[in-house]
Amino acid sequence: MSAQTMHAGELGRRTVGLSESTTGYLTEANAERLVKTLCRVRGAALKLGQMISIQDSDFLPPQLAKIFDRVRESADFMPAAQMHAQLERELGKAWRDSFAEFDEQPFAAASIGQVHRGVLHDGTAVAVKIQYPGVAESIDSDIDNLMMVLKVTGMVPPGLYVDKVLDAARRELAMECDYVREAQCGRIFSGLLHDQPRLNCPAVYDALSTARVLTTALVPGVTLEHTEDMDQQTRDTIATLIMEHTLRELFEYRLMQTDPNWGNFLYDEARGQLNLIDFGATIQYEQHFIDHYIEIIHAASTGASVFVFELTLKPAEIATVPALHSLIHTGVDMVSILYFMTAPCRQCVFSVTCWTVSCRL
């Protein structure tokens, strides 16, 4: 069968190495092939893997959650020659002269780039984030191809509105590919947090940053996945810092870093400080959105679950879907239960959410 006459479903299956008999959720062998494919594709595919992998474990089947957890934790690095070429294009042929040290091996890789450790001539340790070539230009085609793969493999669980998720991935990727915008957002947050010594944003080095390369101070700390063995008081402190910051992002700054990745928070135990990194998915919210959200929270605090439900449905385009109704009812119940469970110790606006994240940590 030629590629021209091959059925789209069969072409999609062959693209990711799946057998013709694949139906429903993936077999273990096919899951392995898909993980490897997603990691090679990077960009849109890896971003989708990251987004889906942080869904609640009760929402995703264990096999699918495991696949995307592996995708989230894995990524192929650029070959050295490709990485050098990208740095030359962005910083000039003498880019290495700006560094006293530069590690050829990246210490981290994300959906659209990889990060290298460097040292400036004054001894400052920096993180150099280098975008994969062509990622920004191929967002739309990558999303479209990924949509085909998802449909033909049948890997999406019921209740996940894949079109909405992919649209969100498309928008988020476009923002994250603009490192000039990310640098500006980082500077804004640094200014907002100047009087909060327990929160820190790394400094941006403009002379070593472009639309495709971003250089910031290298900050210490462990990601939140590695805080579970710390004592309860420390975990409560981390949770409080995150929730106070989250609520201020929404209701005071109306500016939020929306990438829900725990790796964007690094806890420096020696300083008792939380370092915030990666501002590519930062969004500015309009006042009317925040006002509406406050109404929902107030209604939940008074136990007006029906009103919460109606308020939540107001802006939803897909609110007529039965599955969404079920999800919203569940969410209303959760907010109401948490509010009343924390009533004895509720002393400030942050209590409910701090308690919630303390449990998660």
DSSP string, 59-97: TS-HHHHHHHHHHHH--PPPPHHHHHHHHHHHH-TTGGG
Give the per-residue pLDDT at 186. Answer: 96
Give the per-residue pLDDT at 12. Answer: 40
Q: Which residues pair with 118 in a beta bridge?
A: 102, 126
CB 111, CB 50: distance < 8 Å: yes
Q: How far apart are the first and last CA of the chain?
A: 53
Decide if 122 is catalytic: no
pLDDT tens digit sequence for 304-343: 655 655 665 555 443 444 444 454 555 555 555 544 444 4
What 3-state DSSP class applies to 188?
helix
For 36, 311, 312, 325, 335, the CA distances from 298, given in Å and listed in that order, are 46, 11, 12, 20, 11
Q: What is the DSSP letter of 107?
A: S
Give the per-residue pLDDT at 241. Answer: 92
pTM of the entire structure?
0.74
d(CA 202, CA 215): 10
For 80, 102, 110, 127, 354, the CA distances from 116, given in Å and listed in that order, are 12, 7, 12, 6, 34
Q: Which residues pair with 125 in a beta bridge?
A: 119
Element (H, E) at 146: helix 139-153
pLDDT less than 70: residues of the chain: 1-27, 37-43, 45-65, 68-69, 71-76, 149-162, 260, 300-361
d(CA 219, CA 203): 9
Give the per-residue pLDDT at 93. Answer: 96
Nearest one of 218, 226, 237, 216 to 262, comparing CA atoms: 226
Residue type, 239: A
Give the per-residue pLDDT at 154. Answer: 63
- Sign of the CA dihedral 99, 101, 105, 107? negative
Residue from 76, 163, 231, 259 carrying the catalytic annotation: 259
pLDDT tens digit sequence for 154-194: 666 555 566 777 787 788 888 899 999 999 999 999 999 99
How many CA atoms lie within 13 Å of 299's alpha carbon, on the beta-carbon side?
A: 18
